[in-house]
Every structure is written in C-alpha cells, then in structure tokens.
Amino acid sequence: MTRANITLPFSLPEAYRTLKEKVRDLAERCIAPRATEIDKLEEYPEDIYQLLKEHGILGIYLPEEFGGGGMGALGACVAIEEIARHCSNSPLFLSIPFLATRAIEIAGSPGQKKSLLSGIASGEMRASFSTTEPQAGSDIAAMKTYALPDGDSWVISGQKSYCTGSPQADFIVLAARTCPDGKAGRLRSSGELRNISLFIIPKGTPGLTVGPPERKMGMRGIPTCSLFLKNCHIPGKNLIANSGEGFKATMLTFNSARPGIGARGVGLAQGCLDYALGYAKEREAFGVPIVQHQAVQFMIADMFLDTEAARLLVHRAAALVDVGRFGKEDAHFISAAKCYASDTAMKSAVDGIQILGGTGYMKDHPLERFMRDAKQLQIIEGTNQIQRSLIARNLLDL
C-alpha cells in the first residue's frame, strides 16, 4: 500500500467540516465579543439566538423531513463545541432543545413530531426539559410530581427544579408519575418505575408557574428556574410516552443527548487551551516567555492530550447515537464521553488559570468564567459520579 492510499482515521466527513468552519466563524465574529457581557449582566442573549436562527444552526441535528439539517447528534456536537470555545451560555440554544426533542423523536407521535420538531428547526419555537425535583435528581425513583387522568385530559401537580430555559420555552417536556391514587410515595420496583410518563406542557398552561431565576455560580445567561404545577390540565394528545414506556424513553433521552454535554466540555477545554497558550507566548518571566519553561509546557501538553481524547470520545458517542446505539448495552461509551469531557473542561480551566497566575484569577480574563461554567458540566444530566457508576455497572454486567 502506498502512502497516498492511506486515509486519515477519525476525520469528520466534509459536510461536518464545513459546518465546523461556518460555526467557528460565527462564534469568533459575533459570539466571542458578547460572552463576558452575557455573564456579567446575567442577560438572556436573544441576539445570539436570532443569529443562530438566521444561519440555520438551531435545527442542524433534526431530520430534514421536519426542516432540520439532518446532521444528527454529531452535527449538534460539532456546532456546540465551536460555540463553547468562547461562550458557555450560547451553546444551550442547541443543547437544551436537543434534549427535549430527543424525547419526542424517540417516543412522540407523528403529529407531535411534525408540529414541535418543525417549530424547533425553524427557530419559531423554543423548548426545555424537566425531570429533576427538590428530592429527585439522579434518583428518579424519588419523583413525586404526578398526573391523574381526567376524561380525555391529564391533571398534573407537583414541583420541578433547575429547569433551564423555562421562562422562554414554548413548551416543556416534563416527566411525571401517572398514578391513579395520586400518592407521592417513592418508587423502587421495576413495575413502579413503569408509572413514569412524559408530557408536553405548553407555555401559559393554567396551573403552571415558572419560578424566579436561580442565582447561579456560572452559566448565568440562560435562566434556570423551578416549576410549580397545581392542577395543571393538559389534553391527552400531549402525552409523549405512557406509563409503560415513559421511564425507558426518559433514560434513552438522557443517553442520546449526553454527547452534547460532552461537546460543551470539549469546546470549553479548547477555549482554555487557546487562551492559556496565547498568554504563555506573550508573558515573560525570568527573561523569557513563560511558555519556554518546562513546568508550563507540561501543563499545556496535558491540556492538549485531555482535550483531544475527550473530542474523540464525544465524536464516537455521537456517532453511536446517530446509528441508534444509545440503549443500555452502549450506555457506558456515552457516559464515558460526558464524564471525561466535563472533567477535562474543569481541569483545563483550573490549569489555564494557574498558567496565567494572578492574572487568571481576575475577571479581566475569561478563564475564571470558564472555571465557573465548567463546574456545571460535571453535575448536570447525571453527575460524573453517577456516570462512573453507570460505566462500572455495564462493565460488570450488573
């Protein structure tokens, strides 16, 4: 075999490389200059949403039949990474609806897919996703929000926590117990877990109240709120997955959306590396740029190693999702991508600040913002301790 016949492994197809270049250009020109202000003012970046809408980025992952770009989870990850290199808030315009629409793609009716996925793809609709409760985060069995049948409709009551993007959402995909007796006891058996269902809650539904934005360490541009549901009536057609399929659909939704969290981690880590490297080339100590000191070189090398490894894990996880392999048997690959990439983001932010020294601790530079934002990635959509538990259980076949 001649050298000319060898192809580079793990390279993105041309369409994804084109997408990457397009989003990178938009991010550098239009998003990067806004990132600090979005965080400082805790300002919802409507201008960024409209920018992504104008350039057809919002629905890049959705099927073409619904007006999307047809580029799946890998396309979402490519776009998310390029935005996250500069701003951690703006990628949520992709990752939040990606999570919500995955539930609809997996278990929704043809009518739900046509109306809601098309609305998200065009940018005319916004979505959010809600399972977490004050006493039920990773422990979904502790869920107490319940839905009771009422003729052809459902009545939902309960409280949800940490629903990001909920004030702007046109609909929220929400998990609740469908228990005829309305009791809010804990769920433990597999039979009881089947009582979890998914619903579409439209904006402005009577009985739904979106609480005030939480005061967050980072990720301050997109509001995160509690939801309060009191005798919230929704039509029967808004049921996505019934009590026989709701729990499974919820787990599959998380599995298939987790590469997007990993992509945010990769982008953030790359942004830290880019900034620290540029600074180290300019800052002098002991008569030479600090990049010439081996201690700094090793930190930069480790940031590069971890980021490259994380990117490959995320791309593989996204590719698995796109070929339909996001069930239990492949969940450890997906959990590995989310876990490793978010840990890499946090470590890169900390090491980047260390390279900058006292300067890095100041708000004049973006790395302190990146560090605050990175912490969220290790927690959301299943903490990294939960991810490690999932990986181990799969490997041990528990």
In the three-class reduction of DSSP (H, G, I as helix; E, B as strand; rest coil), residue 124 is classed as coil
Residues forming beta bridges with residue 198, ordered by sequence position: 175, 241
φ/ψ (deg, to 5) at 278: -60, -40
Split at pLDDT 50, 70, 90, the class of 338 is very high
- Distance (Å, rounded) from C-alpha 369 to C-alpha 192? 42
Each residue of 60-90: pLDDT tens digit?
999 999 999 999 999 999 999 999 999 999 9
Check residue 189 and give its pLDDT. Answer: 47
In the three-class reduction of DSSP (H, G, I as helix; E, B as strand; rest coil), residue 390 is classed as helix
Q: Are 12 and 311 in contact (CB under 8 A)?
A: no
Per-residue b/e over 259-276, b at no fewer than 16 CB within 10 Å?
Answer: bbbbbbbbbbbbbbbebb
Check residue 36 and give its pLDDT. Answer: 96
In the three-class reduction of DSSP (H, G, I as helix; E, B as strand; rest coil), residue 232 is classed as strand
Domains in the chain, please, with CATH? 12-125 (1.10.540.10), 128-243 (2.40.110.10), 247-396 (1.20.140.10)
pTM of the model: 0.93
Check residue 182 and give its pLDDT. Answer: 46
Question: Which residue type occupies 287?
Answer: G
Check residue 191 and give its pLDDT. Answer: 47
Check residue 100 and give its pLDDT. Answer: 97
- Distance (Å, rounded) from C-alpha 77 to C-alpha 218? 21
Split at pLDDT 50, 70, 90, the class of 8 is low
Query: Which two tokens mark 154?
Result: 């459902």
Q: How far is CA 48 from the centre of its chain?
A: 17
Split at pLDDT 50, 70, 90, the class of 6 is low
7, pLDDT greater than 90: no
Check residue 10 and give its pLDDT. Answer: 73
Check residue 241 and give its pLDDT. Answer: 80
Q: Which of 93-102, 112-121, 134-143, 271-280 has the lowest average pLDDT? A: 134-143
Each residue of 236-284: pLDDT tens digit?
999 998 877 888 999 999 999 999 999 999 999 999 999 999 999 999 8
Q: Which of 186-195, 201-210, 229-238 has the lowest average pLDDT? A: 186-195
Instruction: Identify the H or E element spanning 6.
Output: none
Exposed (0-12), middle (13-18) or buried (19+): which is 191, by Cβ within 10 Å? exposed
Question: Which residue type occupies 328?
Answer: K
φ/ψ (deg, to 5) at 205: -60, 130
- Distance (Å, rounded) from C-alpha 256 to C-alpha 325? 9
Q: Strand locations in 236-347, DSSP E?
A: 239-241, 284-285, 288-289
Characterise 287 by phi-psi region: left (phi > 0), alpha (psi -120 to 50), beta (else): left
Each residue of 348-377: pLDDT tens digit?
999 999 999 999 999 999 999 999 999 999
**Residue 43 appears among annotated catalytic residues:** no
Check residue 140 and give its pLDDT. Answer: 80
343, pLDDT greater than 80: yes
- In the chain, % of residues over pLDDT 70: 93
Check residue 186 and give its pLDDT. Answer: 46
Q: Indicate which residue of 81, 133, 368, 381 is catalytic.
A: 381
In the three-class reduction of DSSP (H, G, I as helix; E, B as strand; rest coil), residue 246 is classed as helix
Each residue of 153-196: pLDDT tens digit?
999 999 999 999 999 999 999 999 986 554 544 444 444 556 88
Q: Long-range CB contacts (< 8 A, 24+ apart) of 17-23?
A: 19/60, 19/69, 19/71, 19/75, 19/78, 19/79, 20/78, 20/79, 20/82, 22/55, 23/57, 23/78, 23/79, 23/82, 23/83
Query: Which two tokens mark 194?
Result: 């089947």
Q: What is the mean pLDDT of the chain?
A: 93
58, pLDDT greater than 60: yes
In the three-class reduction of DSSP (H, G, I as helix; E, B as strand; rest coil), residue 190 is classed as helix
Check residue 142 and give its pLDDT. Answer: 83
